[in-house]
Chains A and B, each alone.
Chain A
Amino acid sequence: EIGISKEEALEALQVVRQACHGDAARTAEGSGTTRKCTALELLEEEQAQGFIITFCSALDNILGGGVQLTKITEICGAPGVGKTQLCMQLAVDVQIPECFGGVAGEAVFIDTEGSFMVDRVVDIATACVQHCQLIAEAHQEEDHLKALETFCLESILSHIYYFRCRDYIELLAQVYLLPDFLSEHSKVRLVIVDGIAFPFRHDFEDLSLRTRLLNGLAQQLIIIANDHKSAVVLTNQMTTRVGQSQSILVPALGESWGHAATVRLIFHWDNSRRLATLYKSPSQKESTIPYHITSHGFRDVQPPAVTQNAEGTEMNPRKRARREEEK
């Protein structure tokens, strides 16, 4: 094609191949090259991966520390339960400086439903900065104060890269472009797709095409998570599965999609309480914890106020607390 003979072409290829091998030998990682290492090395590497905290310690605990980098975490739930709230919280929390226990990263937010409300992100970011300021005041360490000089509302907002995708074609195109974007913005440690189901749940006469496209998407996201040492967080809808005796709610997009995420969380209601169930995880056991959404963002549920005992006489609150601890 470029007008050289076959022999010259082969020679050029050999030179290039040798140069590639040389590079691979020098760097420890290279996408597309294989590398032998022991399971111990892999374990150590995995444990060294950062976590993005959620500000709900109960949720962080059942996740093993928080939302893990290099993994895909899926949040499923009915409308209004708090999936987008957690995504907005994570887009702020990923930016927490290292001296405060964060990963000092940036975030990509891909919005397919139009539910990203920047005023809400401002509330969450402001509360996060205040939280760090309180820590800095308590500890009075120099690196805390220095970090706070650049960790402020404008800086947080400027490091959330927002993409609005109006249908599945735009979403697919955006994901094809992500690797290059992440190479240019190497501090990104979190990619959010809110939500993955919305664009794929209408318009598809051919469900097998949908499955193929979703599989391709999942594969690309897995590669992105690994190559760029980022957490990928997806939100999914719930759908009704009609059973023999009763219908149940299950995550949307079908059985095969269930394999895409490494970690699956299901958010749901119990009367007026919000609960998060860790439904799938390679390392943590399945558990359910309550969470709360305040004006500051995603948080733990405060312990309930002390109540009267069964006999109806009010106990001294402090006495009561000690009793509980003794149990």
Chain B
Amino acid sequence: MDWDQFDLNPKVIAALKKADIKSIKEILNFSGADLQRLMKLSSADIQCLLKTVSHMLRRNSMLTALQLYQDKDHLTSQHQKLSLGCSVLDNLLKGGIPLVGITELAGESSAGKTQISLQLCLCVQYPYKYGGLESGAVYICTEDVFPSKRLQQLIDQQHKLRADIPAEIIQKIKFGNSIFVEHAADLDTFHNCVTKRISLLLTRGMVRLVVIDSIAALFRCEFGVSDSVMKARYLQTFGAQLHSLSTRFRTPIMCINQTLQILKVQPFFYGYFPVTRADNRVLPALGITWANQLLMRLMVSRISQPEQSSGVASHHPGSVRTLRVVFAPHLPPSSCYYTVKLEGVKGIK
């Protein structure tokens, strides 16, 4: 770092060089008192230095909420979301999946998580005007083999699912070419995948959706009870890496998670606060450490028998599911029904 180009007092510049400080990040990593000791400068000089480098890092970083609201540019606007390919589901989510942040889709097995994720991999490839992001997807399998046969079925039936899109547009897109499948069954492979492979695909603009199916499988076998600190650290590191990629490339990250049955609800104890609403006796796996990384949590479940016999569900016996918003900063807790058909996932009004 060439300190001479900065608007700093010469003696401060000399002290920076003498202390072998090479970057703004390094300076900010020290507390004010540490810097004073290290550079042997007065408190006023240090304050001035901190302000100057902070200004270099953060000039033009302010927006008013009004500017955020009025931003119509589809490349930067908060209003833009990734559609799920069904208007009922999109309405539940007020447009679709937010572009920046990690969205979790949790649920029991065969509730439809993989179906929804595959559908998203196709939706992302459509033009912005149809709720897509005009780019591909990367699908990381951590457990099962990638369901290519099902993907092909979905591709063949796109015209049926997306009746809102002109047939010529659908025909032009080579869906299979833009879905990149990765397999990562353990943490090291996953780490490499995220830091190298996904980074590369994102940098080249080839993908604008990352699906991880599932995040829970990565942590199931490798950690015993006593390794909880280690596990937490991995979760936080991965969460931060994914979050950072999502922010840099305005790309939604969809993490599939499994659920656990709660066998016993803990009594309220002073200082003990329940982790989530335990009304369903089913909790997403990986605990609060993982939940802290999420922007939005969605849960899917099969409908219980009594619900199925009434109204809506009776028309679609056996395959009705519920999609529930557990938390999101912009959505109330709400839910809707959906079915899984040959052409894909469709919400029921």
Residues of chain A with a CB closer than 8 A to B79's CB? 119
Instruction: Choose the segment among A133-141, A166-174, A312-320 that binds chain B (4+ C-beta atoms closer than 8 Å).
Output: A166-174
Whether B66 pairs with A154 at a CB distance below 8 angstroms is yes
Residues of chain A with a CB closer than 8 A to B24's CB? 169, 173
Whether B78 pairs with A271 at a CB distance below 8 angstroms is no
Q: Which of A161, A169, A216 contacts B57 (CB 8 A)?
A: A169
Bound complex: CA of A156 vs CA of B64, how far in Å? 10
Given A116-B329, A215-B31, A237-B292: A173 touches B69 (CB 8 Å cut-off): no
Interface string of B266-287 (1 = CB under 8 A from A): 1011011111111100000001
B237 at the interface (CB under 8 A from A): yes
Bound complex: CA of A154 vs CA of B66, how far in Å? 6
Q: Which of B61, B294, B332 contacts A295 (CB 8 A)?
A: B332
Whether A79 pairs with B277 at a CB distance below 8 angstroms is no
Whether B62 pairs with A246 at a CB distance below 8 angstroms is no
Looking at the assembled complex, report how far the CB atom of A61 sits from the nearest CB atom of chain B, in whole angstroms: 22
User: Which A75-100 residues have C-beta < 8 A from chain B?
Assistant: 77-80, 84-85, 91
Bound complex: CA of A272 vs CA of B333, how far in Å? 11
Residue of A nearest to B236 (CB): A202
Residues of chain A with a CB closer than 8 A to B332's CB? 293, 295
Whether B31 pairs with A202 at a CB distance below 8 angstroms is no
Bound complex: CA of A272 vs CA of B327, how far in Å? 13
Whether B239 pairs with A202 at a CB distance below 8 angstroms is yes
Whether A115 pairs with B101 at a CB distance below 8 angstroms is yes
Whether B273 pairs with A238 at a CB distance below 8 angstroms is yes
Whether B272 pairs with A121 at a CB distance below 8 angstroms is no
Whether A180 pairs with B277 at a CB distance below 8 angstroms is no
B289 at the interface (CB under 8 A from A): yes
B349 at the interface (CB under 8 A from A): no
Looking at the assembled complex, report how far the CB atom of B114 sits from the nearest CB atom of chain A, in whole angstroms: 24
Q: Which of A80, A159, A181 contacts B326 (CB 8 A)?
A: A80
A1 at the interface (CB under 8 A from B): yes
A28 at the interface (CB under 8 A from B): no
Given A1-B11, A115-B295, A173-B54: A248 touches B272 (CB 8 Å cut-off): yes
Residues of chain B with a CB closer than 8 A to A1's CB? 11
Interface string of B66-80 (1 = CB under 8 A from A): 101100000000110
Q: Which of B29, B277, B279 contacts A169 (CB 8 A)?
A: B29
Given A115-B329, A119-B330, A242-B228: A158 touches B288 (CB 8 Å cut-off): no
Whether B288 pairs with A202 at a CB distance below 8 angstroms is no
Whether B100 pairs with A114 at a CB distance below 8 angstroms is yes
Instruction: Choose the segment among A11-19, A38-46, A49-57, A262-270 that binds chain B (4+ C-beta atoms closer than 8 Å).
Output: A262-270
User: Chain A: how many interface residues by the 8 Å CB criterion?
Assistant: 67
Looking at the assembled complex, report how far the CB atom of B297 sits from the nearest CB atom of chain A, in whole angstroms: 7
Pairs across A and B, CB under 8 Å, 19 listed: A80-B327, A114-B243, A119-B79, A157-B64, A157-B65, A158-B65, A161-B64, A167-B244, A169-B24, A170-B58, A202-B233, A212-B33, A238-B288, A242-B228, A246-B269, A249-B275, A268-B273, A271-B278, A295-B332
Q: Is the interface of A mostly helix, strand, loop or mixed?
A: mixed
Interface string of A235-257 (1 = CB under 8 A from B): 00111101000101110000000
Whether A117 pairs with B330 at a CB distance below 8 angstroms is yes
Looking at the assembled complex, report how far the CB atom of B249 sits from the nearest CB atom of chain A, in whole angstroms: 12
Interface string of B143-182 (1 = CB under 8 A from A): 0000000000000000000000000000000000000000
User: Which A149-189 residues have C-beta < 8 A from chain B?
Assistant: 154, 156-164, 166-167, 169-170, 172-174, 176-177, 180-181
Identify the A interface with B (CB < 8 A): 1, 77-80, 84-85, 91, 109, 113-122, 154, 156-164, 166-167, 169-170, 172-174, 176-177, 180-181, 197-198, 201-203, 209, 212-213, 215-216, 237-240, 242, 246, 248-250, 266, 268-272, 293, 295
Whether B297 pairs with A118 at a CB distance below 8 angstroms is no
Whether A162 pairs with B65 at a CB distance below 8 angstroms is yes
B19 at the interface (CB under 8 A from A): no
Q: Which of B62, B269, B278, B295 contacts A113 (CB 8 A)?
A: B295
Given A119-B79, A240-B288: A250 touches B269 (CB 8 Å cut-off): no
Whether B69 pairs with A157 at a CB distance below 8 angstroms is yes
Residue of B nearest to A203 (CB): B240
Q: Which of B25, B31, B78 contacts A118 (CB 8 A)?
A: B78
Residues of chain B with a CB closer than 8 A to A202's CB? 233, 236-237, 239-240
B34 at the interface (CB under 8 A from A): yes
B341 at the interface (CB under 8 A from A): no
Looking at the assembled complex, report how far the CB atom of B252 sits from the nearest CB atom of chain A, in whole angstroms: 11
Given A85-B329, A117-B329, A271-B277: A80 touches B297 (CB 8 Å cut-off): yes
Bound complex: CA of A121 vs CA of B277, how far in Å? 25
Whether B54 pairs with A176 at a CB distance below 8 angstroms is yes
Looking at the assembled complex, report how far the CB atom of B58 sits from the nearest CB atom of chain A, in whole angstroms: 5
